[in-house]
Structure 1
Amino acid sequence: MKKTRMLAALAAAGLALTLVACSSSSGGSSDQVTLKFAHWGSNEEAKTLAAMIDAFQQANPTIKVEDNWIQSDYEQKLTTSIAGGQAPDVAQTSNTQLANFQSAFQPAQVDPSKYYAANIPDGMKVGDQYYAVPFVIKPKVMAVNLQLFKKSAVQPPSLSEPMTVDQFVATAKRLTAGSGKSKTYGSAPLWFNGWLVAEGGDFFTADGQSCTLDTPAALATAKLLMQAQAKDGFAPTTLDAQGQDMFYWLSVGRLAMQPDFGPWDIAKLAGLKSGEFQLVPVPGKGSQLEVNGLSLSKSIRDSKLDAARKFTAFMSTDDRAQSLLTSKASSLGVPVTDSGLKSFEAAAPSLNLKAFETAAGQSRLGASVKNYGQITGAIGDALGSRTAIGAGHEDPAKVLSDLQQKCPAGLTTS
């Protein structure tokens, strides 16, 4: 009788071990899942992402994230990996890249109510479908050297209300003084892509089907840049600014305003003498908004897909991740959730970081079109080489008209 009971017990134990083994081999909840995650970024940005990944792995010990930091030619290398059947499970993308990779990504699960500005989730759409989960935004604001305003007896800009473009130009002229290497400029060089939005224009129609370069806003932008860089202008020429760090110029008093100030320089600005520098909204009707998201490869399924969705949700909406985006030491960008903004503002309490939050709603999302970077880059190159924005002498109206005619039709499918 005892022998029979012993055999039965051994058989039961063997069955239990078999079931555990089967559960493990079939992808049960105790399995370790490994995700391959590709992203770009500077050294500091990569460190921030590594800290966010570490926070996720501590909260999800059965999921390992392999960090693939692509330091150059990100789009090209991502395209190559997808074409070769080696796509990462999760890839960092931006609103300007989504149309290029749409066919390689799965539709994403996004709850727009979790974000404080409609622009944030909308940046992860191509047409009416989400293809990425947003996790950070990179709006632009304007940094100002208050000492130069005081020296010139000029009223500093409002902390909450953006100047008009005309007010900005008039202020920049008043703040420009001197000549040669000791010249103080009212503004850093202006960027066509950003100021086109400030003037109320854009590169493309809202549906992304055609360019809009023959508009009054585009011509006004070109003329503004030419005026800024003229011999008696209020910003350094392209040649004068080449190889120069405009943030450094701002910090030492050679620039009064830096209108293209991104969140990646928050820590550096906070490290300067308190009370001498501040952040304000960009002039005009805003600037272009960069939204970065996380997209899932079409090829992943089952437990890996579940793990990838957990990872993207954590990075996007969990305080443990969002609170790491900006610190006193570095900044990857601006959080996308209300709760994340509390830690963001605490990173540099002497600065008006709320200007970035204002910019999130004020900034414009352009249409997501294929080859966005190549098209807009070609437009900038043509204006720089053919007009007085750079070394050219042609009428900007003619150049913009030529560019409009050459712009490819059906941009979303080109």
Structure 2
Amino acid sequence: MKKAMSKSRLFVALLLSFILVVVGCSSGTGTPSNNVADNGKQPVTLKFTFWGSTYEKKAMDNAVKTFQEKHNNIKIDAQHIPADYDTKLTAMVAGNEAPDLGYVRDLMALPWAEEGKLYNILEFIDKDSTLKKDEFLDHAFIDWAPGKSFGMFTAKEAYGLFYNKDMLKAAGVADLPTKAEQAFSWDQFVEVARKLTIDHNGKNALDPAFDKTKIKQYGISFDPTYTGYMQMVFSAGGDYISEDGKSFGLTKPESIDAIQKMADLIHKYHVAPSPVEAKSIPAGAASLQSKQVAILLTGQWVLLDLAQSGMNFGIGILPKIKMNATATSTGTMSIFKSTKHPEEAYTFWKYLNNPESALELHANGLWMPLMKKWYTEPALVAKWADVKPAHPEGYKEAIMEPSLNHTHKLPSAYVKNFAKINALVQPAIERTYLGQTTAEQALKGIEAEVSKLIMGRYN
């Protein structure tokens, strides 16, 4: 009996010693072990892909770092793809190497969602006791079917006019209007653009001696794709596709007029570069900084680069043809069905969509919030829309207010079969911008073929 007791005590002693050694090795530093996170979950790695400039990469890297400090069981493998993003992401998906989540353009995401490649983000939100769909802006989500959304916009991104203030001053042009009721008419806008377009002899486009073959400085530059011309199409009362989703909207008189006005900036007034000429001009903020372009019609994300440039820049509201209008850019962040860690991917998705969590991305001019209260509560508005230098005087009137009251989604977010339709539309638009044909001839020339591809509207 005593012998049995001795063995028992020896076993207990050895067991206690073993436990003490293990505890000492694993928690002697006061931190979780390398194998198990502090919440008891095994660490996971999520591959996250995104596009953007060097400044955007830096801001995103900071956001990822902050996230990982709060979630030590989730490591983010953030892969920045600055060029040919769509092509590379498509190849990754085709090769069964899709990221866990990442930026996805809506024209790619909508068919992928229908094919079952993307999660319905509403399934996560419906189960989330800390988040409600109605906390976000009404137009923030992109649905492919009732109750099914592959995500929200990466952030809200409205369009406006961004300009080099020193160039306007040198040309004797006043700062651009920022309030909706003071927006330039189209004729006023053209007049200003002509004053700002200078040839190599120093003459502007209003001067009879202006040399249109030797332009040193353009008054305006814009994206030749639908993200550029749809701003004016909406302002004219037109659309890419009819409201009932049955006919080609760009052949309607309002749409044709708007697109012809854009083309006239290039070939009638010579105040904007053609697609060929634009290739020799730096893109985005660099075009203003190089003083080759005075005004840039683009999305507000350019504020990030402008703020970093040290340039003396300003902001203006878009001109109007019939009404004030702006469009919301439609890149989204989606979770791929192939992920092995959907809950963790949603945790990171929710983090980036909370302005408080990724405040740097909003305060530095890259993003606009998606939550309603960040537009209505002064204390929250001050955290991003009042931050200088990314948000110059007039920002709230020129960008924030129109994006709430005069906004439209771009057609890639609501036109079914958009990619195939746009494969016909974009070359037609380019022919117009190259001066080879009128907008009416180009668009009506493809109407019959486009009509065969029209399959209606989402939402």
For normalisation by structure 1, the TM-score amounts to 0.79
2:186 to 150, 165, 174: 165
Change (3 A) 1:356 1:96: farther
Residue range with higher mean Cα deviation, 186-195 or 83-92:
186-195
Question: Residue 320 of structure 1: SS of its match in structure 2?
Answer: coil
1: CA distance, partners of 2:289 / 2:102:
36
Does 2:64 align with 1:53? yes
Aligned length: 394
Q: Which blocks of at least 5 consecutive residues in structure 1 are unaligned?
A: none
1:130 to 149, 152, 168: 149
Instruction: Report the residue type matching 1:225 in the other structure.
Output: M
Question: Residue 100 of structure 1: SS of its match in structure 2?
Answer: helix
* CA displacement 1:299-322 (0-9 Å, x = unmatched): 345xx2221111111111152323
- For the Cα contact (< 8 Å) 1:203–1:376, is it kept in 2? no
* CA displacement 1:31-74 (0-9 Å, x = unmatched): 11221212233333223222211111011011111123334433
1:382 to 425, 428, 449: 428
Change (3 A) 1:206 1:60: farther
2: CA distance, partners of 1:158 / 1:112:
35
Alignment match, 2:367: 333
Deviation at 1:182, TM superposition (A): 5.7
Alignment match, 2:257: 220
Alignment match, 1:364: 408
Change (3 A) 1:358 1:244: same
- For the Cα contact (< 8 Å) 1:264–1:333, is it kept in 2? no
Change (3 A) 1:127 1:204: farther
* CA displacement 1:346-400 (0-9 Å, x = unmatched): 1415443323323432331034345635533541322322x4x31413x432321
Question: Residue 64 of structure 1: SS of its match in structure 2?
Answer: strand
* CA displacement 1:214-260 (0-9 Å, x = unmatched): 21222102321232223544434444433213755645666553223
Does 2:161 align with 1:142? yes
Residue range with higher mean Cα deviation, 262-271 or 54-63:
262-271
Which of the pair has the greater relative contact order for Cα pairs under 8 Å at 6+ separation? 1
Percent identical = 20
Change (3 A) 1:341 1:50: farther
Alignment match, 2:449: 406
For normalisation by structure 2, the TM-score amounts to 0.72
2: CA distance, partners of 1:15 / 1:210:
75
Alignment match, 1:244: 281
1: CA distance, partners of 2:104 / 2:97:
17
Alignment match, 2:234: 197
The 5 A counterparts of 1:20-99 are 29-99=40-110
Q: Which entry has the higher C-alpha Rg, 1 or 2? A: 2
- For the Cα contact (< 8 Å) 1:144–1:279, is it kept in 2? yes
Question: Residue 342 of structure 1: SS of its match in structure 2?
Answer: coil
1:257 to 284, 290, 295: 295
Does 2:286 align with 1:268? no
2: CA distance, partners of 1:142 / 1:241:
18
Question: Residue 259 of structure 1: SS of its match in structure 2?
Answer: strand
Q: Which blocks of at least 5 consecutive residues in structure 2 are unaligned?
A: 27-34, 126-131, 198-203, 375-379
Instruction: Report the residue type matching 1:336 in the other structure.
Output: L
Alignment match, 1:107: 120
